[in-house]
Amino acid sequence: MEYTPPPLFNRGPTPLVRLVLCSLLSIGLLVADARFQYLDNIREAVAIVVYPLQRLAGTPAAIFDRIGDFFVTQARLRNDNNRLAEQNLQNAAKLRLFEALSAENAHLRELLAARERIPATTTAAEVLYGGRDPFTRRVIVDKGQQSDIKPGQPVIDEIGVVGQVTRVYPWLSEVTLITDKEQVVPVQNLRNGLRAVLAGTGNDGELELKFIPLNADFQNGDQLVTSGIDGVYPPGLPVAAVSNVERNAAYLFARIACKPLAGVASHTQVLIVNWENKAPERPTPPEKSGAPKKRRGA
Amino acid sequence: MQQFESRPQTILLPVKPAFIVFTLIAALLTNLLPWSGWLLAIKPDFVALVTLYWWIQQPRRVGFTAAMLLGLAMDVADGSLFGQHALAYSMLAFAGIVLHRRVLGFTMKDQILHVIPLLLANDIIVLVIRKSAGADFPGVTYFIGSCLAGALWPSLCYLLRLPQIPKPDPDHV
């Protein structure tokens, strides 16, 4: 005879069993995400579901901003207008000079048979909100796959480098700021051309030059620009200024603290740079030394 | 002793599932607001707080599914590791469901003393996950949110119970 317990007290698995199941599932997800980066598709699917909520949550602040914009005083607008007109005039003069110089530069490069520099195009994006994860330094911007944003593209503002696109969703993307602990930018000292690696510290407004020998020529106030040898950042973008150099013979390397030039923690508008460095192909390694070994192994 | 729990002798109305879903989405929305600066640093995790309320009040209706779904949504919205909130919320769900009879027997003040450690444990789980993935400890301010959440507990209980309080019956003598 079949016996089934009455459904009255049927509660399904105990909480402990459910906890173990959920924990195993979460840990599986964690490992797959952290170690193997397998989950981009699932993440994207969840992102599409969460996206309307994110926009909805951002709406009150956006409306508030708009109301604030509406009540700007005329005096302030006129001040802004004057300032911008003046700036425009100054920039125009610089632009003329720049055009002449770039024409000359192109000509000289042609003479030297050097590779042409690739012009970069930019996409303007708006910062929706700062990352809420206290362990990383990230912001979310309002352009994504639909605007042809790709992971790895550098992000700048009107002064210099802000960060790099690290994850792209259909309508949003995540920008890791250069102050993030794991973010590294290859830079060059503008004064003497020394190359170095600039790493974030995890604190706002603080960067650090890594692995600089004690006797290297870095001084307070030195401007650091991207070197471009990584093929990710276009060369010549301002990144940071050296703020403190500490040479202690007890350590192997000098401790060089820098301050980011761009408003890394405070901007609302950024530019995403679309720049593909068409580097010459890597030379194929000679196969002679490798081939016989393989045969011997087999 | 004045007990918040035993004072109203009225029998509460059954909670509507739609109301639970509404509060959970509202909590998620509150978490997704564009917080910044020091407000972000001390922001309680509203999703953890509201779901903890439901796990304690309605353990048969709100369970691990809510924990997993909300956790994954938070992970994607925060851009954190996929599954860290899901794991932490599952643990919190377990604690809430197992302790629900015990917590409800206490006064509001003593309930807070249960809620704060549970939320802190939630934080610590996230912290352990991130530390093992190579992140730095973000400082003691990381824990302030959960302590504030404990302070919000009484008002949250009051708000979420409002729809369940029956309307006074005009025919009642």
| ipTM attached to this prediction | 0.82
Closest residue by Cα to residue A177 from A147, A211, A148, A203: A203
Q: How many domains does chain A have?
A: 3
pLDDT confidence tier of residue A5, bands split at 50, 70 and 90: low
pTM of the model as a whole: 0.78
pLDDT confidence tier of residue A7, bands split at 50, 70 and 90: low
Mean pLDDT computed over every residue of chain B? 87
- b/e sequence A257-286, b meaning 16+ C-beta within 10 Å: bbebbbebbebeebbbbebeeeeeeeeeee
Say if residue A148 is in the same domain as residue A88. Answer: no
Of B5-19, B33-47, B63-77, least confident by mean pLDDT is B5-19
pLDDT confidence tier of residue A1, bands split at 50, 70 and 90: low
Contact call for residues A39 and A26 (beta carbons, < 8 A): no
**pLDDT higher for B4 or B116?**
B116
Say if residue A152 is in the same domain as residue A260. Answer: yes
What ranges make up the beta strands (E) of chain A?
Answer: 121-130, 138-141, 154-156, 161-168, 173-177, 184-189, 195-200, 207-213, 223-226, 238-246, 253-260, 269-274
**Mean pLDDT within A102-115:** 80
pLDDT in tens, B90-115: 999 999 999 999 998 899 999 999 99
Q: What percent of chain B has pLDDT over 90?
A: 55
Which residues numbered 130-169 in A keep a CB inside 8 Å of some CB on B? 130-136, 138, 140, 167
Say if residue A159 is in the same domain as residue A56. Answer: no
pLDDT confidence tier of residue A164, bands split at 50, 70 and 90: very high
Residues of A in contact with B73 (CB under 8 A): 46, 49-50, 53
Say if residue A162 is in the same domain as residue A86. Answer: no
Residue owning tokens 């629900």 = B100
Contact call for residues B26 and B70 (beta carbons, < 8 A): no
**pLDDT higher for A70 or A114?**
A70
Q: Do A135 and B130 touch (CB under 8 A)?
A: yes
pLDDT confidence tier of residue A4, bands split at 50, 70 and 90: low
Of A4-18, A200-214, B36-50, least confident by mean pLDDT is A4-18
Say if residue A88 is in the same domain as residue A169. Answer: no
Tell me the nearest-neighbour CA distance from A103 into chain B, angstroms: 44
Sorted by sequence, the CB contacts under 8 Å of residue B16 that are 6+ apart come out as B163
Which residues numbered 126-165 in B keep a CB inside 8 Å of some CB on A? 129-130, 133-136, 138, 142
The CATH number covering residue A252 comes to 2.40.10.340
Smallest Cβ distance to A135: which of B73, B97, B135? B135
**pLDDT higher for A298 or B160?**
B160
Residue A7 domain-assigned (yes or no) = no
The total of other beta-carbon atoms located within 10 Å of residue A147's CB is: 16
Say if residue A88 is in the same domain as residue A151. Answer: no
| Domain carrying residue A267 | 120-277
Say if residue A273 is in the same domain as residue A126. Answer: yes
Q: What percent of chain A has pLDDT over 90?
A: 28
**Mean pLDDT within B137-156:** 90
**Mean pLDDT within A206-228:** 90
**pLDDT higher for A73 or A20?**
A20
Q: What percent of chain B has pLDDT over 70?
A: 94
Q: Which of the listed residues A82, A99, A116 is the one where a domain comes to its end? A: A116
Mutate to test the interface with A, among B28, B29, B90 (most CBs of A within 10 A): B90
pLDDT in tens, B9-36: 568 888 899 999 999 999 999 988 878 7
Of A11-15, A187-191, A197-201, least confident by mean pLDDT is A11-15
Q: Which two tokens stand for residue A186?
A: 């290859």
Domains of chain B: which residue ranges? 19-29+45-164
Mean pLDDT computed over every residue of chain A? 84
Looking at residue A289, the DSSP 8-state letter turns out to be T
Is B8 a residue whose pLDDT tops 60?
no
Residue A286 domain-assigned (yes or no) = no
Closest residue by Cα to residue B74 from B139, B116, B122, B128: B122
pLDDT confidence tier of residue B3, bands split at 50, 70 and 90: very low
Q: Do A58 and B34 touch (CB under 8 A)?
A: yes
Is A294 a residue whose pLDDT tops 50?
no
Annotate B17-72 with three-state secondary structure. Answer: HHHHHHHHHHHHHHHHCCCCHHHHHHCCCHHHHHHHHHHHHCCCCCCHHHHHHHHH
Please state, in angstroms and rounded to a whole number, the distance separating the CA atoms of residues A20 and B91. 9
Residue A13 domain-assigned (yes or no) = no
**Mean pLDDT within A49-68:** 84
Is A296 a residue whose pLDDT tops 70?
no
Chains A and B form CB pairs within 8 A to the count of: 128
**pLDDT higher for A112 or A238?**
A238
Residues of B in contact with A208 (CB under 8 A): none
Say if residue A213 is in the same domain as residue A267. Answer: yes
pLDDT confidence tier of residue B7, bands split at 50, 70 and 90: low
pLDDT in tens, A221-278: 999 999 888 888 888 889 999 999 998 888 889 999 999 988 777 767 899 988 876 6
Say if residue A100 is in the same domain as residue A157. Answer: no
